[in-house]
Chain A
Amino acid sequence: GNSVTQMEGPVTLSEEAFLTINCTYTATGYPSLFWYVQYPGEGLQLLLKATKADDKGSNKGFEATYRKETTSFHLEKGSVQVSDSAVYFCALNTGGFKTIFGAGTRLFVKA
């Protein structure tokens, strides 16, 4: 079946450090891929998405490239801020009603 695996957290970085959160997936067909972010005590918000191979999603300085050959969708940001502290979820959808989420990766950014 379809699944998403993302690196375990927590990830702790200093402000202005480079961020990578790894995400790999298993899916039949051609899924759309997503990164969602959850700030403390809130629901999830869509951060970025990519719908086909080699697409790059980007938003608020975050980027992720849909790599079909490695079945990956790693999240990156060149310089993190304290306000980026949150839980990040990688997710996929193959066109049905069920969006599959990874377990989430908690990011702490220290000033």
Chain B
Amino acid sequence: SQTIHQWPATLVQPVGSPLSLECTVEGTSNPNLYWYRQAAGRGLQLLFYSVGIGQISSEVPQNLSASRPQDRQFILSSKKLLLSDSGFYLCAWSVRLAGANTGELFFGEGSRLTVL
């Protein structure tokens, strides 16, 4: 069966410090990968998605970046965190279909980031 893990689960960082959140998927090959952010009391905002190694699409311009160094690994990074980067970050994957996307997402447990 497929599983998705992300870490760390909780992170408290000072403003201006770097960030690295990691996500790995097991039990599937060639998944589409996603990073979402969930701000308190709000819905989910898609930050990045990837359809393959080294292929990253950004949905929202910001000081965050994403990388996919391996097929089942997705990393969210920042060189200098802002207060507004605080939130709950969710990694997700979906089955890759030729020319289409089912829209069904499988989420990790989430990483709560507090920037002070």
Contacts and interface: CB of A to CB of B under 8 A. Distances in A.
Given A42-B109, A89-B44, A95 B90 contact: no
Interface residues of B, number: 24
Interface of B: 32, 34, 41-44, 46, 49, 51, 57, 59, 90, 92, 100-110
B108 A99 contact: no
Contacts of B51: 97
Contacts of B49: 97-98
A33 B107 CA distance: 17
Contacts of A42: 109-110
A32 B13 CA distance: 38
Contacts, number: 61
A82 to B, nearest CB: 22
12 contacts: A32-B103, A34-B103, A36-B105, A43-B108, A44-B92, A45-B107, A46-B104, A93-B102, A93-B103, A101-B43, A103-B43, A104-B42
Q: Could you say which interface size class chain A belongs to? A: 20 to 34
A34 B94 CA distance: 14
Contacts of A97: 32, 34, 49, 51, 57, 101
B105 A99 contact: yes
A21 interface: no
A96 interface: yes
Contacts of A95: 100-101, 103
